[in-house]
């Protein structure tokens, strides 16, 4: 046995210093190195005892949440995290109705203005290219901006909370994990793609299951290649073939990105038809367990819809999706404390 050089009492301020990401934006999960990711999770572990009670790491600091698309989890959990850290929140959940965006103010100007009020901004926006161009142009004229989801391609804080949940449930060794990401539409699965990119950064193995013609966007494929991702892709499998794959490949976690086509939107019927082959059931998960001896953890970014998901999984050991919600609070506390910098 060897003594570890960093042995000593846990110190949250020293830990935040060690993570070293104060003042940074977060656009894609691979903006963070593997050391930075690990330190974010270590910080989250230190903050976990306080996720229901709180501590005053960010007293008098202000978070602004500006959401151009609907949200329950991402907005509320960042806001909960800020309140639990002793900070305050400015929130705009309908900017095209009730902010100056309704008077055609540019996103660039809105961010510059908000930066005079808040210490950090969490932004959700449908146009990833537009947001990334504005952030580049803003340079130092903005506070740190955390993506709460941009376009179809990135939702890094979802990926982080998914990674933190995986890290906690499987004991912290990403290189030993195999994760399957299954959806009929990988081209619009920003949650699953962010999780995959983070997993790849940490050396996990990824198995994609999708549909021909709706593949992982090029921007993500380039990033996966850049981090030497260990991934494989399967297309157009039936549900039975997917169950066999999970058992044969000894998959630890099945991730369902919750990408959907809403009632009334074009392509709904086609999507629901494809979704039939992604309808994982309690019985199917039991068959996988009989074949492989493994209890596969089922993760989902939520929301989920009737007809796309077997709600019976809720009462089984497979359920991780509501646990993800719990883990999202200490993870986002860690992210805010590390990016704003504790005082």
Interface residues toward ligand CP, by CB under 6 A:
71-74, 149, 158, 191, 301-302
What the block records as the tokens of 69 is: 């698309």
**With contact defined as beta carbons under 8 Å apart, do 280 and 304 qualify?**
no
- As measured in angstroms, the least distance from the Cβ of 189 to ligand CP is 11
What the block records as the tokens of 93 is: 């959940």
Return the number of the residue (184 or 341) whose C-beta is nearest ligand CP: 184
Return the number of the residue (15 or 260) whose C-beta is nearest ligand CP: 260
- As measured in angstroms, the least distance from the Cβ of 113 to ligand CP is 24
Q: Of all helices (H) and strands (E), which one includes residue 159?
A: helix 156-170
Return the number of the residue (72 or 106) whose C-beta is nearest ligand CP: 72
Q: Beta strands of 183-336 (E only): which ranges?
A: 205-210, 230-235, 253-256, 297-300
Pick the closest to residue 333 from 120, 128, 43 (CA basis).
43
What the block records as the tokens of 149 is: 């989801």
- As measured in angstroms, the least distance from the Cβ of 331 to ligand CP is 13
Residues 6+ apart with CB under 8 A from 85: 54, 55, 56, 57, 58, 61, 333, 336, 337
Return the number of the residue (27 or 39) whose C-beta is nearest ligand CP: 27
Return the number of the residue (181 or 245) whose C-beta is nearest ligand CP: 181
Is residue 143 classed as helix, strand or coil in its secondary structure?
A: coil
- As measured in angstroms, the least distance from the Cβ of 104 to ligand CP is 26
- As measured in angstroms, the least distance from the Cβ of 275 to ligand CP is 18
Return the number of the residue (47 or 259) whose C-beta is nearest ligand CP: 259
Widest pairwise Cα distance in the chain: 66
**With contact defined as beta carbons under 8 Å apart, do 334 and 47 qualify?**
yes
- As measured in angstroms, the least distance from the Cβ of 191 to ligand CP is 6
């Amino acid at each position: 046995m060897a003594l570890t050089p960093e042995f000593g009492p846990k110190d949250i301020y020293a830990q935040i210093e060690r993570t070293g990401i104060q003042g940074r934006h977060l656009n894609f999960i691979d903006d963070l190195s593997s050391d930075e990711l690990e330190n974010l999770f270590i910080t989250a572990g230190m903050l976990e005892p306080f996720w229901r009670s709180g501590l005053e790491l960010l007293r008098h600091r202000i978070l602004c949440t500006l959401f151009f698309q609907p949200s329950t989890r991402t907005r509320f959990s960042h806001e909960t995290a800020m309140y639990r850290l002793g900070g305050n929140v400015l929130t705009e959940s309908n900017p095209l109705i009730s902010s100056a965006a309704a008077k055609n103010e540019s996103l660039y100007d809105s961010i510059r203005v908000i930066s005079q009020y808040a210490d950090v901004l969490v932004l959700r926006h449908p146009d990833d290219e537009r947001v990334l161009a504005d952030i580049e142009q803003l340079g130092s004229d903005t506070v740190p901006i955390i993506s709460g989801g941009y376009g179809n391609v990135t939702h890094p804080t979802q990926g982080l909370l998914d990674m933190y949940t995986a890290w906690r449930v499987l004991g912290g060794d990403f290189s030993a994990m195999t994760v399957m990401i299954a959806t009929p539409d990988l081209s619009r699965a920003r949650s699953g793609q962010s999780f995959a990119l983070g997993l790849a950064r940490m050396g996990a193995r990824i198995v994609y299951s999708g549909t021909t013609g709706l593949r992982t966007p090029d921007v993500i494929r380039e990033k996966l290649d850049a981090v030497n991702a260990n991934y494989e892709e399967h297309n157009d499998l039936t549900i039975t073939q997917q169950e066999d794959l999970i058992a044969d490949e000894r998959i630890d976690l099945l991730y369902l990105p919750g990408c959907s086509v809403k009632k009334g939107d074009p392509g709904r019927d086609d999507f629901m038809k494809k979704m039939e082959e992604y309808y994982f059931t309690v019985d199917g998960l039991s068959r996988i367990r009989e074949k492989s001896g493994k209890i596969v953890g089922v993760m989902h970014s939520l929301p989920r819809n009737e007809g796309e998901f077997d709600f019976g999984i809720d009462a089984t050991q497979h359920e991780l999706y509501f646990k993800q919600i719990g883990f999202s609070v200490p993870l986002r506390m860690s992210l805010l404390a590390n990016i704003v910098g504790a005082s």
